[in-house]
Structure 1
Amino acid sequence: MWAAAAAGRATKMLERNFSSILRPTKGMDLKIKRGFCSKSQEGSKQKPEVGGHSTFKVPGHKPSDWEKKVLMWSGRFKKVDDIPETVSFELLDAARNKLRVKISYLMIALTVLGCIVMVIEGKRAVGRHESLATQNMERKARWREDIAQSASAKP
């Protein structure tokens, strides 16, 4: 009998907890309650003021000659003269990443080209009846001749 009373209390407690979770709160947007966020809420947040300034600015970076070449090769600027005296770190990172992608595409193309050249050369070698086995047999025959000549030359 005491088990039935304990079970009744447990169900009442569960009903109370679940009903409060499932019941929508008055005046609350369901998107916020479900954990979704929207761009308008993110944009409305104000950044705290630090030292009297409204925002913290990342200082610019004076690019070296190599970094200027990277900026040009990545396609961001056409000439060295077009590059400003200071650029952001994000701009340099984006240029480096773009250059990495271009270099990887170039390496892929060179690898495929090299494979095609090797296949063509291999087919030409088969046409000339050249193979590694015949080359090894010829090399070993030359070694035997050299050994025989050196043995006959020694009295």
Structure 2
Amino acid sequence: MIFNMIRGPRAAFGTLIGQVRRGVMTTGSRRLCSKPQEGASAPQAQRLGFKVPGYRPSEWDKKMLVWSGRFKTTEQIPEFVSFEMIDASRNRVRVKACYVMMVVTIVACVAMAVSGKRAAGRHENLTSHNMEKKARWREEAQREKEEATELAAKAQ
């Protein structure tokens, strides 16, 4: 490494990058490795792998468990259930809700298409509807203008 420093900073940086890519980098007397060691992680996983003995489901969680099909009634649900069971039932209800929303969206699209075809059959469209509305507004404005002129003529 010191020899590479003498050759120039670019060569030293290239060597450093090569060591990092290989996963081994030497600094002084220590050797650093970016790969996890298999022997040290096994006892650590056993210590951190504890599980909570149970989770007391709320009323909403009980409804989720019944809706997901995990239990038939709320009386069958035990006092403590695992969090994995609650999470799985929430995911299942979430998927069911998505399916329901998809079906509702498809039904709404079909209903709008049918409604549009019926309106086209009656020769109704937005342009004619807007023109009729503006004509009514003009008539009302004209009527109000005439009433204002009549009131002004009577006041004199």
Taking structure 1 as the reference length, the TM-score comes to 0.64
Higher helix residue share = 2
Question: Of 110, 113, 124, which aligns to 2:107?
Answer: 113
Alpha-carbon spacing, 1:143–1:49, altered in 2? closer, same or farther (3 Å): closer
In structure 2, what residue type is equivalent to 1:79?
T
**Separation of aligned partners in 1, 2:63 and 2:47:** 38
Equivalent position to 2:81, from 58, 76, 87: 87
Correspondence for 1:65 among 59, 74, 83: 59
Give CA deviations for 1:77-107 in whole Å, capped at 9, x if unaligned: 1101111110111111000000000000000
Partner of 1:130: 124
Higher share of residues assigned strand = 2
Structure 1 residue runs of 4+, over 6 Å off? none
Aligned to 2:136: 142
In 1, Cα distance between equivalents of 2:46 and 2:50: 10
User: For residues 80 and 116 of structure 2, what CA distance do their matches in structure 1 show?
Assistant: 53
Q: Which runs of 5+ in 2 are unaligned?
A: 1-41, 150-156
Distance 1:106 1:65 in 2: 23
Identity %, equivalent residues: 50
CA RMSD of the aligned region, Å? 1.9
AA partner of residue 114 (structure 1): A
Counterpart residue type for residue 83 of structure 1: I
Amino acid at match of 2:59: D
For 1:57 and 1:151, the matched residues in 2 are separated by 81
The Cα offsets for residues 22-73 of structure 1, whole Å up to 9 and x where unpaired, read as: xxxxxxxxxxxxxxxxxxxxxxx787579xxxx8331311111111001000
CA–CA distance in structure 2, aligned partners of residues 57 and 123 of structure 1 = 60
Superposition TM-score, scaled by structure 2 size: 0.64
The secondary structure found in structure 1 opposite 2:56 is coil
